[in-house]
Every structure is written in C-alpha cells, then in structure tokens.
Amino acid sequence: MDHVCLGRTGLRVSPLCLGTMNFGPLTPETDSHAIMDEALELGINFFDTADVYGWKKGEGWTEQIIGRWLAQGSGRRERIVLATKVYGSMGTGPNDRGLSAYHIRRACEDSLRRMQTDHIDLYQMHHIDRRTPVDEFLQAMEQLTREGKILYLGSSNFPAWQIARTQMAAGQRNFLGLVSEQCLYNLADRTVELEVLPAARAFGLGIMPWSPLSGGLLAGALEKETSGRRGSDVVKKKLEAKRDSVERWETLCGELGQPPERIALAWLLKNPLVTAPIMGPRTIEQLRDCLNVLPVTLDDDAWKKVEEIWPGPGGEAPEAYSW
C-alpha cells in the first residue's frame, strides 16, 4: 500500500483510515482487536476514534478498547498514527464539553489514560465551539504540543470561515495550526465543495471524509432492500428521498462491473485534497472489502456518468451560485 502525506505535513498515512466508532456498541472487543490487527497486516496505519465513542457518557469505551489493544505490545503503538477527538459531552458538568482550555486539558489527559499511551498523533476538535475564542483553544493546543502530548492538530465539521480564522490566528502565534479537516463528504453529500474544500486547499489541510458511503446509501442500499436485509432507519429515509438516483447508481455500477461501495470510495480517492476516507467496518470481511477499492480506476466517460447521477453544488463558491 502506498502511503500519502497528511495535508501539508511530512506525516505519511495509509490512504484509507480505520474508523472505530463501531467498536464496542456494534463490534465486540475481541472482534475489534482482530480488526485492528488485520488492518495493520493490510498496511493501514491510520486509526481514528473519539472520546465520545462507546456506550455510556463519559466512559470513552472505544478509546478503552483501543488502549487494551495497544497494551498488548509487539510494536502496535509505534506502527500506527493515532487520532482522536475532543469537544463532545463527557459528563454532566458545565465544563464537561466544548473547546475551553479547561476542558481540552482534562479531555486530553483522559484520552491518554484510556488509550494507554503518552501521546496522540492527531488531536482533532470534533466541532466548532462558538463560545470559545480561537486564541483560547489554540493556546491550549500549543501547550499540549510543547508537552509532547499531541503532535498534530486537526478539525472536524469546521466551516471554511472557522478554518480560516484558526489558521490566521495560528500564523500570528507561529504555530503550525490545523493540518486536517474531517468532514461529511461523499457522492451524495457534496456541500463541502462550496467552501470547505477550497479552504483546505488554501491552507494545506488534508481532507478526511467521514461517512464516505453516506451511511450505506452508496453501498448497495437498494439491492439490500430487495434481498430483505435490514438497513438502518437513517438509510431507509435517505433511500426514500433519493430512490431514483440510487436506482441509476446501482445500475451503472452493475454495468461497470464493480460494487457500488468501491466506486464511491474510488471517487473520493481521486480527489487530490482527500488524504484518507474513514472506513467504519463492523467485521474483518467489511475491512477487506474496503481494501479492494485501491486498484479501482475508471475512464473519464464513466466518471462523467457518476457525476450526472450525483451532481455537486455546481463548483466552488461564489461561482456555484453567482455569475
């Protein structure tokens, strides 16, 4: 597997990122450990999680599962780029969420303890906090960087204006600032093409798309419905809203001789701004299926047909909506 640089950094990561949100709630711990072992063997060195993933508020159960896997040794920690997030509610107190320096400091310490490691490679702000000044959360992140507890800073679900504000403030502080943005991006959800992707290009951020298959909509949802296999309520609602497009999509994928999920991931990977889509496999079989995307290539005519089914917002702002 050819590794790529994360944004403008020299950090090399796999072009697919292992998302761990299912570890615990849907995938038992033993199976979660087996998936991480398999991912390493397949060349995936980029693991993403968050402090809020898991069952009960404040427990960080998914991080605990990763920590117990790392504690098995055999060079596991040295072989991966470990990413987690801060922002979500981890308790009932008024300072148990957000991006205040108070919460960031404590949340980082708690994540380190749960994952049984002394540093986080990529620490991502899970959402914007409109009440916290940019200088406050940047100062907190600088302090953690100086202490060696985090190496790189990323954002998630940030709008373009907040990416720009953060990077301008970071420059004034002689701080590297953001190196990545994790956002909702797939063929069926392309709003970020208006401003977030142009901002990422301008400031050298690597894009890490979450929900690259639109929650399963792009992964053969119609075929699964026809065969009687269960789908989530969210996917069912999406399917009802976009049934015509999904029918055309799955027909095209059949004509191209590729499973829909492979073409959907390949479409993301051909974008130079995309560092690594985040996969969330529940089983080893699903993990292996994702790896089949890497050799998928289509000609320009095929990609044109894909874009006709799933058109974007019309390009970048402001040309997408003005003369």
230 has pLDDT over 60: no
pLDDT (average), residues 94-117: 98
The residues, any chain, with a CB within 8 Å of residue 2's CB and separated by 6 or more, are 15
Nearest to 16 by CA among 197, 269, 258: 269
pLDDT (average), residues 168-189: 98
Q: Are strands 46-48 and 120-125 parallel, antiparallel or unpaired?
A: unpaired
Q: Is 64 in contact with 90 (CB distance < 8 Å)? A: no
- Residue 102 vs residues 108, 132, 318, 320: alpha-carbon distances, Å: 10, 11, 38, 41
- Listed by start position, the domains of the chain span 4-219+259-299
Q: Is 294 helix (H, G, I), strand (E, B) or coil?
A: coil
pLDDT number for residue 231 = 61
pLDDT per residue as tens digits for the range 33-82: 999 999 999 999 999 999 999 988 899 999 999 999 999 999 999 999 99
pLDDT (average), residues 177-187: 98
State the chain's mean pLDDT as an integer.
95
pLDDT number for residue 208 = 98
The residues, any chain, with a CB within 8 Å of residue 49's CB and separated by 6 or more, are 19, 20, 21, 23, 62, 63, 66, 82, 83, 84, 85, 115
Q: How many CA atoms lie within 13 A of 233 on its CB side?
A: 0
d(CA 198, CA 215): 25
pLDDT per residue as tens digits for the range 112-167: 999 999 999 999 999 999 999 999 999 999 999 999 999 999 999 999 999 999 99
- The alpha carbon of 72 is separated from its chain's Cα centroid by a whole number of angstroms, namely 26
Instruction: Show the tokens assigned to 95.
Output: 């300072």
The residues, any chain, with a CB within 8 Å of residue 35's CB and separated by 6 or more, are 18, 23, 27, 281, 283, 284, 287
Q: Write b or e for each residue in 192-213: b if 16 or more Cβ atoms lie within 10 A of its Cβ, otherwise e.
A: bbbbbbbbbeebbbbbbbbbbb
Catalytic residue among 53, 87, 152, 185: 53
pLDDT per residue as tens digits for the range 253-280: 999 999 999 999 999 999 999 999 999 9
Instruction: Show the tokens assigned to 74.
Output: 């055999």
d(CA 141, CA 101): 8
- In 3-state terms the chain splits into helix, strand, coil percentages (rounded to 5) of 45, 15, 40
pLDDT (average), residues 78-101: 97
pTM comes to: 0.96
Q: Assess whether 53 carries a catalytic annotation.
A: yes
Which range is least confidently modeled, 207-211, 230-234, 236-240, 282-286? 230-234
CA dihedral 307, 311, 313, 316 (to 10 degrees): 10
List residues bridging with 13 in a β-sheet: 4
Other CB atoms within a 10 A radius of the CB of residue 134 amount to: 18
Q: What number does CATH give the domain 4-219+259-299?
A: 3.20.20.100
pLDDT number for residue 295 = 78
225 has pLDDT over 90: no
The residues, any chain, with a CB within 8 Å of residue 27's CB and separated by 6 or more, are 35, 282, 283
75 backbone dihedrals φ, ψ, rounded to 5°? 75, 15
d(CA 29, CA 23): 7
pLDDT number for residue 90 = 97
Q: Is 20 in contact with 53 (CB distance < 8 Å)? A: yes
Instruction: Show the tokens assigned to 280.
Output: 């969330």
